[in-house]
Amino acid sequence: MAEVKSHEFDAFVKRKPLPVRLFLIYGPDRGLVSERAAALAAASGVDLADAFSVVKLDAGEIGGQPGRLVDEMNAIGLFGGDRLVWICNAGSEKGIADALDILAGQPAGPSTLIIEAGDLKKGAALRKAAESASQAVAIACYADDGRALQSLIDQELSAEGLRISPAARERLTETIGGDRLASRNEVRKLALYCRGKAMIEEQDVEEIVGDASAISTDDAIDAILKGDRDGFLHAIQKIVASKTPVFLVLQGCLRQFQLLELMRAEMDEKRAPAAQAMATLGRHLHFRRKPIVENALKAWSGPAIRRETQRLQAAILQSRQRPVLEDTIAMQTMLATVLQSARR
């Protein structure tokens, strides 16, 4: 089936049964990737509460071993019935692309495969494998545009019977948009805050957004990009005090470097200035963050960004393999990135 366009997804996921069992969901908006993966999992018909029917793996566990994934897909559940194999954090792993090629050439079995990936270039092996197979579907997830954001706001607020003033809507739209899951959570938080009010006003948005920004991971990530060690440690203190997991900052840092890698590739390919890459790929960023990201884009070379992205990915895998050391691994990794930024 090749590719399902972003605007086609809602109709696609409602089809009963789903026309294929092999799905690749990818893109820079990791929140939207996760949301759509969860929607496909729910539509697969597999009992998600049954631990014997659902297998979740990190892409690093597959690595260069396509046989591991093929075996999981061909395995028979302990009590029979459909199974779901769910791969997270996929990227350039050759083993996953090779496994997808093998599975696409086999008759459809009882197992459904969902692969969550970051942003993949058009020629990436994994994306190519999904788009060229009749038994697979590739679904791209890019940052919400203005129309999608308005739809999200209307959907969440109408569910609570709330209305929003034009000024408040504009302020809210400026604040959200980089990540679907984060955007939805912010709108839901606003709806909860304003429950019982006749109209949401701009002041309401500023108050609740102010509360959220106090524990936002953006402050820590921005300090990393600026090479500001003291600013990073101060931001981490606020995050820890809010009981927000430090691991989320590490994940956010990885997403930021994945975006930088995409922007830098466009700059190098088109010989374009950083401002042009920001205008096309960074338009969803909050206006306060744009100068920081643009400066980082100028300071970091393409190879250096790729090396840092790989190091962050390795740290995430290591922290999942050794959960007792999760905070220590996250802090050591991010402090090393702060030092790298400070040297540029």
Contact between 45 and 54 (Cβ < 8 Å): no
**340 in any annotated domain:** no
Contact between 63 and 96 (Cβ < 8 Å): no
CATH number of the structural domain spanning residue 54: 3.40.50.300
Q: Which of 213, 179, 206 is nearest to 190 (CA)?
A: 206
**Average of per-residue pLDDT across 96-100:** 93
**Average of per-residue pLDDT across 18-40:** 88
Q: Which of 141, 108, 134 is nearest to 21 (CA)?
A: 108
pLDDT of 182 above 50: yes
> Domain ends where: 173, 190, 213?
213
Q: How far apart are CA 75 and CA 109, in angstroms?
A: 10
Q: Please state which of the ranges 93-97, 173-177, 182-186, 237-241 shows the lowest mean pLDDT.
A: 173-177
Q: Is the peptide bond prior to 17 cis by the omega test (within 30 degrees of 0)?
A: yes
> Domain ends where: 140, 166, 187?
140
**344 in any annotated domain:** no
Q: Give the domain extent around 271.
A: 217-335
Local confidence band at 118 (pLDDT 50, 70, 90 cut-offs): confident
237 vs 65, 151, 229, 244, 314, CA distance in Å? 40, 35, 12, 10, 24
User: Residue 239: enclosing H or E segment and its boundaries?
Assistant: helix 229-241
Is 114 in the same domain as 13? yes
Q: How far apart are CA 266 and CA 281, in angstroms?
A: 9
268, amino acid identity: D
pLDDT at 175: 74
pLDDT at 151: 87
pLDDT of 215 above 50: no
Domain count, the chain: 3
Q: Which of 131, 137, 174 is nearest to 290 (CA)?
A: 174
Q: How confident is the model over 249-292, as pLDDT tens digits?
A: 898 899 899 999 999 998 998 899 999 989 888 877 877 788 99
Any idea which residue has 């809507």 for tokens? 169
Is 324 in the same domain as 200? no
**267 in any annotated domain:** yes
pLDDT at 97: 93
CATH number of the structural domain spanning residue 173: 1.10.8.60
**342 in any annotated domain:** no
268 vs 262, 272, 297, 298, CA distance in Å? 10, 7, 11, 11
Specify the higher pLDDT residue, 256 or 109: 256
Specify the higher pLDDT residue, 92 or 216: 92
Is 78 in the same domain as 199? no
Q: Is the pTM of this model over 0.75?
A: no
Report the percent of the chain where pLDDT is more than 70: 94
Q: How far apart are CA 106 and CA 66, in angstroms?
A: 14
Burial of 17-44, coded b for 16+ CB within 10 Å and e otherwise, reads ebebbbbbbbbbbbbbbbbbbbbbbebb
Give the CA-trace dihedral at 39, 312, 212, 225, to 10 degrees.
-140
What's the chain's Rg over C-alpha atoms?
21
